[in-house]
Amino acid sequence: MKYSSFLFAASAAAAALDMQQGACKLPSPGSPQIRATAQRKFYSVGTYTLKGNPNGAAAAAGGSHSHGGSGGGMGGMMGEGDAQSFAASPSGSTFCGTCTVLAGQIKIFYPDGSPANVSNGIYVHHILTNGIGSQPAFVRSGLGGLSGAMGAGFVGAGDDNGNRPWVYAPKDGSFESGFQIAPTTRFSAQIVLVNYNKVPKTVCVAYDLEFIPGHVGKKVKSSLISAAGMTGPKVDRGRAVNTTSSPMAFSEPGYIILAKGHLHDGGSAMYMRISGKNSYSCVSRATYGHTVGGEGGQATISDMSDCNSKPWRIESGDSMTMTAEYDLKSHPLRGTASGGEAGVMGMFRIIFAPDKAW
């Protein structure tokens, strides 16, 4: 579809929308993926209206690249000029009450229940949902850990990682574990979206959760750990470059259930290596595919592979090193709707099931 007709169709659809809150038709989720006996449901945290963007998707296709390539670091986290931020404060009773979440994924819908996504101009910059209340760190990550600053990371989505569920229990069934919540558990959600449409859009943010009622198995910890401290990885316009962390030691024994890289556009892969009593490696590779505004737009990351085929045994003192690889020759930084370039990040989301209850 040509861009002009895309916009015409989009504005006709928007005219028919009214801005009522909380009204979203949610499709029924599929069957459970981790345990056949689990339940699966959609829970909405709210309806959000995004302002129209004067430059539309043209900005994503050809940003003016006005700022340098030294890496925007945390700018990418907190939002560039084009991102619109909302805060939500769901509690356990917004979700499944007293339950153990085995897997979760955020899905965004228009009020009629159709998916809002990058093809129709809605780009998920970040949705981070953190438990309020501290989660003792399982890795001594120094500055690179957001784990210290935030509670346990619940289901989230990033530029790249909305397409696969976060998994809190081993798929191979070797033990039971999950993200345990209670009705009074409080969360703080930061919802950062970009609207590449010229017209306002209303979307509904829903959590697709697979869970078991009650508390079962090991209570997981979930942290986002950076390969490049708070400043973000290096980038170079002319070639692919790696940024490698210093070694970070695990501070308690347990199992890694899931490791999944988080990159922004421009990134090609995240590498993790663990050595000590145990040794593992994980490559989480970016696939580019989706385009902003449909055909002909700039390619953005459509998938990050993850490592979760079986749990990895970890002993206290095992050491982890991470590398973030950015390749701007193959993939430009995301063009922001205000004509600039988006910042970069290089992190791993780690879901850890400690031996010791906490």
Residue 155 interacts with Cu ion (CB under 5 A): yes or no? no
H or E element: which one contains 341? none
Residue 354 Cβ, how far from ligand NAG at the closest point, in Å?
Answer: 28
Q: List binders of ligand NAG among 63-122 (CB under 6 A).
A: 114-115, 117-120
55 binds, among Cu ion, ligand NAG, none (CB under 5 to 8 A by kind): none
Q: Is 281 in the site for ligand NAG (CB under 6 A)?
A: no
Binding pattern to ligand NAG, positions 306-345, x when CB under 6 A?
-----------------x-x--------------------
Rg of the chain, C-alpha, whole Å: 20
Q: φ, ψ for residue 59 (rounded to 5)? A: -65, -40
Q: Is there binding between residue 235 and Cu ion (CB under 5 A)?
A: no
Q: Which of residues 309-328 bind Cu ion (CB under 5 A)?
A: none
- Alpha helix ranges (H) inside 16-107: 58-61, 75-78
- Taking the C-alpha atoms of residue 345 and residue 349, their distance in angstroms, rounded to an integer, is 12
Q: In whole angstroms, how far apart are CA 229 and each of 5, 144, 276, 280, 311?
A: 44, 4, 23, 22, 26
Q: Which residue has the tokens 């922004």?
A: 264
Q: How far is the CB of 176 from ligand NAG (least distance, A)?
A: 32
Closer by beta carbon to ligand NAG, 188 or else 302: 302
Task: Provide, rounded to whole angstroms, the least separation between the CB of residue 347 and ligand NAG.
Answer: 16
Indicate the pairing of strand 267-275 with strand 319-327.
Answer: antiparallel
Which tokens go with 350?
A: 């780690």
**Other CB atoms within 10 A of residue 339 CB:** 16
Using CB under 5 A as the binding rule, whether residue 345 contacts Cu ion is answered as: yes
Query: Of the candidates 193, 199, 158, which has an alpha carbon nearest to the alpha carbon of residue 80?
Result: 193
Q: Give the Cβ contact number of residue 189 at 10 Å.
A: 22
Residue 306 Cβ vs Cu ion, minimum distance, rounded to whole Å: 16
Which residue of 242, 305, 316, 321 would you call a contact of ligand NAG, by CB under 6 A? 242
* Bridge-based pairing state of the strands 248-250 and 139-140: antiparallel
Question: Which residue's CB is nearer to ligand NAG, number 74 or number 241?
Answer: 241
Q: Read off the DSSP letter of residue 90.
A: -
Which residues, numbered 48-77, are part of the site for Cu ion (CB under 5 A)? 76
Q: Which is nearer to ligand NAG, 39 or 242 (CB)?
A: 242
> Where does this chain bind Cu ion (CB under 5 A)?
76, 345
> Where does this chain bind ligand NAG (CB under 6 A)?
114-115, 117-120, 240-242, 271, 290, 323, 325
